C-alpha cells in the first residue's frame, strides 16, 4: 500500500531572503514519480531541495511521513527523521580523468555519507545492486571507458544501494542515445513499481511523460524579483499543451 511521504502546502523556497520558487500544493507518495520540468534558471533544483527538507521554506509547510516531521515558516524543526535521500547525478558531471572503476563510481553516493568517504563493508550492497541490474561485470572496468548508458546504470546502482526513501535524478537521460534512454526509463519504471518514490529533474518532456504520474511545471515569473510558479499537471496535459504550442509556433 502506498502512503504519502511528502506534502507541501503554500511553500516558498529561496536563498538569502530572495524567493526563487513558490508552490501551492505538492505531494509525493511511495511508488510514485514526480517530474520536475521547466527552463534553465526557473528553480528546479531549489524546489527539490525544499521539498526534500534540505532547504527550509521561507513560508508555508513541508510535511514528511512517516515521522510526520514538519518544517514551517522557515524554522527547520524536522531533521529528515527516517527519510533516506538517494541522488543520481548527471553522468557527464563525473570527472572522467579520475582513475576509478565502475564500483568506485557506483560507491560515490554511498561513500559520501560515510566517515572519510570509505565504502568498506558497504561495497557488498553496491555490488548486490549492480548484480540486480545485470551490470556486475562493469564493477572492475574503468568508468571512463563505459558508454553513457552503462555509466548511468552504474550510478543508478550506487544510488539505489542505500535503499532510498526518495530517489532524486538530475537529467538522467541527457547525452544518452535512444536505446540507452529507453533502457534507463524501463529500469526506473520497474523500481517505481517496486515502491521507490522518485523526483526526476528533466527538460525532456517525452521522458517525463513515460515515467511520471504527475509533473511539477515551473513557470518563470513575468516580473523581476518574483518567484517562479509551480503548476502540477498530468503527463497527458503537459504533452497536449506542448503540442499546441508547437502548432502555434509552426
pLDDT at site 211: 97
Name the domain boundary from 122, 149, 164. 164
Residues 174 and 149 placed together within one structural domain of the fold: no
7 and 125 share one domain? no
Task: Determine contact, residues 85/168, Cβ cutoff 8 Å.
Answer: yes
Q: What is the pTM of this model?
A: 0.85
Judge if 71 and 192 occupy the same domain.
yes
State the pLDDT at residue 80.
42
For the chain (250 residues), the mean pLDDT of every run of 10, in chain order, is 84 95 96 95 94 93 69 38 75 69 80 47 84 94 91 91 89 91 94 95 94 96 91 95 84
Question: According to the model, what pLDDT value does residue 63 have?
Answer: 92
Residue 205 and residue 159 in one domain: no
> How many whole angstroms separate alpha carbon 224 and alpha carbon 211?
34
CATH code of the domain containing 57 = 3.40.50.300
Q: How big is the chain, counted in residues?
A: 250
Helix H or strand E segment including 249: helix 235-249
Instruction: For cell 543520481, name the residue.
Output: 88
DSSP character at residue 126: H
Q: How many domains does the chain have?
A: 2
Cis geometry, peptide bond prior to residue 66 (ω within 30 degrees of 0): yes
Give pLDDT, residue 104: 86
Residue 47 and residue 36 in contact, taking contact as beta carbons nearer than 8 Å: yes
The pLDDT score that the predictor gives to residue 118 is 45
Measure CA of the first residue to CA of the last residue in the chain; give whole Å.
45
Does one domain contain both 140 and 235?
no
Q: Write out the residue range of the structural domain in which residue 2 sits.
A: 1-83+166-250
Amino acid at each position: 500500500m502506498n502512503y504519502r511521504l511528502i506534502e507541501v502546502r503554500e511553500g516558498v523556497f529561496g536563498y538569502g531572503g530572495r524567493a526563487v520558487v513558490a508552490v501551492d500544493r505538492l505531494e509525493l507518495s511511495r511508488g510514485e514519480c514526480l517530474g520536475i520540468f521547466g527552463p534553465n534558471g526557473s528553480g528546479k533544483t531549489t524546489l527539490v531541495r525544499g521539498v526534500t527538507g534540505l532547504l527550509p521554506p521561507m513560508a508555508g509547510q513541508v510535511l514528511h511521513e512517516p515521522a510526520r516531521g514538519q518544517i514551517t515558516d522557515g524554522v527547520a524543526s524536522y531533521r529528515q527523521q527516517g527519510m533516506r535521500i538517494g541522488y543520481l547525478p548527471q553522468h557527464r558531471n563525473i570527472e572522467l580523468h579520475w582513475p576509478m572503476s565502475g564500483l568506485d563510481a557506483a560507491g560515490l553516493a554511498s561513500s559520501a555519507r560515510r566517515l572519510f568517504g570509505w565504502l568498506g563493508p558497504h561495497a557488498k550492497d553496491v555490488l548486490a545492486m549492480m548484480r540486480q541490474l545485470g551490470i556486475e561485470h562493469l564493477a572492475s572496468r574503468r568508468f571512463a571507458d563505459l558508454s553513457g548508458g552503462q555509466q548511468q546504470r552504474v550510478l543508478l546502482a550506487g544510488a539505489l544501494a542505500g535503499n532510498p526513501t526518495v530517489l532524486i535524478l538530475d537529467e538522467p537521460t541527457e547525452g544518452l542515445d535512444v536505446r540507452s534512454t529507453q533502457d534507463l526509463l524501463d529500469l526506473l519504471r520497474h523500481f517505481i513499481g517496486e515502491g521507490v518514490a522518485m523526483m526526476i529533474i528533466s527538460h525532456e518532456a517525452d521522458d517525463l511523460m513515460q515515467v511520471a504520474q504527475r509533473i511539477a511545471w515551473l513557470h518563470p515569473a513575468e516580473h523581476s524579483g518574483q518567484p517562479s510558479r509551480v503548476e502540477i499537471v498530468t503527463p497527458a496535459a503537459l504533452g497536449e499543451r506542448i503540442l499546441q504550442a508547437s502548432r502555434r509556433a509552426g
